[in-house]
Amino acid sequence: MKKLYSVIALLIVASLALSACGGGAAAGFKVGQVTDLAGVDDKSFNATAWKGVENAVADLGVEGKYLESTQQSDYDKNIQQFLDENTDLIVTVGFLLGTATGNAAKANPDQKFAIVDYAYPDCYPGVEEGKTCGSTTELPNVLGLTFKTDEAGFLAGYAAAASTKTGKVATFGGINIPTVTIFMKGFQAGVNYYNQNMGTAVEVLGWDTAANDGSFTGNFNSLDDGRSFAESFVQEGADIVMPVAGPVGLGSAAYCKETGSCMIVGVDTDWTVSASEYTDVILTSVLKNMDVAVFDAIKAAKDGTFKGGVYVGTLANNGVGLAAVNGASAELTAGLDKLKADIISGAVKVE
């Protein structure tokens, strides 16, 4: 009898062990996302990246978790929490996490990272590695997910120039960093291209590529700033505004909807979907398909094909794009289709 009990006990232990292994196989691969200061519900940048994680949870059977950063000191802390939890792939979101991610990647060479809107090496003369930049060399355990949003911004500028009634359009940013200004540069270049080809003189307020300077709220979360910036541009004569400032732009959209005085160009995701309450005043949106890039990074990490380096989203590989233009004529639609093809072929250079 004692021997029988021993056999039963062994069978129970084996069964539990197999159950544990089976349960772990489905949810054993862990992905953690660290947001920037705008938070995961920003209806824009962080939310789009998180959608990529959610899609991986649904389609690949991974575990997904995010940690929100409310101040810059949270970046290191949140990354370390995921390290402590033995997270398989850590996805950090945004330019502002570049140094923290680089430091963590160098200290943990066996840990896989993906960072949205950033790549290594990122150090240049005058900055200090580990303090104001992440690495002087490429990091083999980090995949930088970058996007040529100036290509899609160029299309948006062309569409805005074709759609304005006042002859003035505007753009502003949250913080003066390259991943923000690349939208604004593309937007102004697209307006200039329209002017050159159509003999018009549409003016861009809020950004000057030649001076490499423009209007910035200094944050990514104040809806009041979004309202006041849009109002100021409208008072200067603009009737189309492109806010490159995360949730700040929702304040601009609210102002345009309430006053009927302007249209909005959304960024990062299609605002007619993410902020559908403002659909009537959304002219179009510059799409940065971060969800696809994040999903692909997770898939590669899970199936063992992950490599560090740089992914570049372009019009050619659908990494960036332009949403449908509200009220576009057949002529404008055809013009945008040709312009997209010309950018992809290299016939038109986005300068």
Q: DSSP for 213-282, please give it.
A: EE-B-S-S--HHHHHHHHHHHHHTT-SEEEEESTTHHHHHHHHHHHH---EEEEEES-HHHHTGGGGGGE
Q: How confident is the model at residue 179 (pLDDT cuts 50, 70, 90)?
A: very high
Reduced to 3 states (helix: H, G, I; strand: E, B; else coil), residue 150 is helix
Average pLDDT over residues 129-155: 96
| pLDDT score recorded for residue 22 | 33
Cα separation of 17 and 34, whole Å? 33
CATH code, 29-147+288-313: 3.40.50.2300
Report the pLDDT value the prediction gives residue 40, as an integer from 0 to 100.
94
Q: What is residue 24's predicted lDDT score, i.e. its pLDDT?
A: 35
- pLDDT band at residue 149 under the 50/70/90 scheme: very high
pLDDT at residue number 38: 87
What is the percent of the chain where pLDDT is above 90?
A: 89
The architecture in CATH of the region 149-268+320-345 reads 3-Layer(aba) Sandwich (3.40)
Residue 227 vs residues 157, 158, 248, 252, 264: alpha-carbon distances, Å = 21, 24, 8, 5, 12
Distance (Å, rounded) from C-alpha 115 to C-alpha 101?
Answer: 8
User: Where does CATH 3.40.50.2300 sit in the chain?
Assistant: 29-147+288-313, 149-268+320-345
Contact 252, 275 (CB under 8 A): no
- Express each pLDDT in 76-116 by its tens digit: 999 999 999 999 999 999 999 999 999 999 999 999 999 99
Strands (E), the chain: 30-34, 63-67, 89-93, 112-116, 142-147, 168-173, 203-205, 207-208, 213-214, 240-244, 263-268, 282-288, 309-313, 320-322
Q: How many C-beta atoms lie closer than 10 Å to residue 152's C-beta?
A: 33
